[in-house]
Amino acid sequence: MRIGEIVETGSAGFVAESFELNRPPELGSLVKVETEEGSCVYGVVSYGTTTGLDPGRRAVRRSSEGVYDAAIYREHPQLEQVLRTEFSVVLVGWAADGSIRQHLPPQPPPLHYSVHTCTPLEVRAFSERLLYLRLLLAVSGQLPPEQLLAAHLRQLYQARGRDRAWLERAAREVAGLLKQDVERLLVVLQGIDPGQGT
């Protein structure tokens, strides 16, 4: 399903405008961009925001009656024409000729291409290997990378039908990557614990 259009792109990730106001894809979800016949890039949603169209101003609008605030926007949906919802995506892999590669793609996805959600089957195929988790731990974005990684693993756990064996394998992989940083490791492990509402 198409959920957005790329408005900014680069070698490590992209920003897309959501087709639905106030509804970016869920944090940590796996998305894809079909780049040419039979090939695509994969990414993880790393941040979402809804703002006014003018980046230097808050989302308020002046009229003859005064300044509209957020409560007024909810009551007057026509004012939403001055708002937009965007989401950031970290690239984690690409596919060509039926083969999935879990590293940065050779080229970023093109500007104005559509972003799609991944089906459970695509999520399962991509997440059979976990080599790309290192890319998520190296992200320097709006959120701490261990929080992004935990959100991503929770998303995959759900999309894989609450596959406990897969989640345990992912936890072991993360433990190996963060063996020198116990505090960060604990943040991820606590964030993916099914007993904590995963």
Name the domain count of the chain.
1
What local confidence, expressed as pLDDT, does residue 169 receive?
A: 98
What local confidence, expressed as pLDDT, does residue 166 receive?
A: 98
What local confidence, expressed as pLDDT, does residue 80 receive?
A: 56
pLDDT digits (tens, 9 = 90+) for 21-69: 999 999 999 999 999 888 999 999 999 999 887 666 555 544 445 444 5
Whole-structure pTM over 0.85, yes or no? yes
What local confidence, expressed as pLDDT, does residue 62 receive?
A: 47
The C-alpha atoms of residue 31 and residue 36 are separated, in whole angstroms, by 16
Residue 137 scores a pLDDT above 70:
yes
Q: Domain range holding 25?
A: 2-196
